[in-house]
Chain A
Amino acid sequence: MTNKNGKIPEKDDNYTNNINRNNDRSLDRRGFMKTLAGAAGVFAVASLPWGTLAAKELMGLADKEYPHKKIVDIKDIAVGESVEFHFPSDHDSAVLIRLEENKYVAYQNACTHLRCPVYWVKEQKEMVCPCHHGKFDVNTGAPTAGPPRRPLPEIVVHQEDEAIFAVRVKRYEA
């Protein structure tokens, strides 16, 4: 027992209080409070990057207009089919679904629960996240079942020259 917390006080060092378990004094009231104060520090530091990103967005440094990007030729996607693409950056996977002859919807398909990729299931007419069986409404992107609480970000698409283009990412309505 060399460290400060492991030392047995003199009043306890007798035949009734001589239980000597490892670390039995390291998480006493004071040690517990120290841990809690440290945890508060961890939370303070952890919230800094979110604030930085938010400040960046507020100052308009993050450009919301992306160059239009061609997703797929119309002849290559049948009604009820889906195609995966990336928008706005190569790391943001997204899915385009052709619902009717002239109705296309596109969403960023990272599940709003834990960012698993969400798939379009043609037979169920639903978007399903395989990780925890989250489901999304295909018309609005709103979550209908499972753990996700936020809607999928919708991508505005534009039809031009027999092809579908991604224009921009819609803001959340909520």
Chain B
Amino acid sequence: MKRSYLGVIILCLILAMNIVFTQLIVHQYYHENYQNVLIYMGINIILFPIAILVYKKEKNKGGS
């Protein structure tokens, strides 16, 4: 049976973005650019439902 690794790849990208934005949040907070902190926090929170959606769509695709 052919495996689908699309979900794994997308989720890996989401996790990478999470890490990048979390680091940016910390840096922007200490640089006192508070608007940017809120923007990055919004992105980080929105990424979570996207990750859940991708998981739900992809969990039954492919083998295993």
List A residues at the B interface (Cβ < 8 Å). Answer: 28-30, 32-34, 36-37, 39-41, 43-44, 46-48, 50-51, 53-55, 57-58, 112, 150, 171-172, 174
Contacts and interface: CB of A to CB of B under 8 A. Distances in A.
Q: Which 3 A-B pairs have the closest CB atoms?
A: A51-B41, A54-B37, A40-B51
Contact of A43 (B5, B22, B52): B22
Given A37-B54, A46-B22, A150 B41 contact: no
B22 A29 contact: no
B8 to A, nearest CB: 6
A58 B34 contact: yes
A150 B29 CA distance: 12
A172 B48 CA distance: 32
A47 B42 CA distance: 9
Chain B interface residue number, banded: 35 or more
Contacts of A51: 25, 37-38, 41-42
A43 B30 contact: no
Contact of B29 (A28, A41, A44, A50): A50
Contacts of A40: 11, 14-15, 18, 47-48, 50-52
B37 A33 contact: no
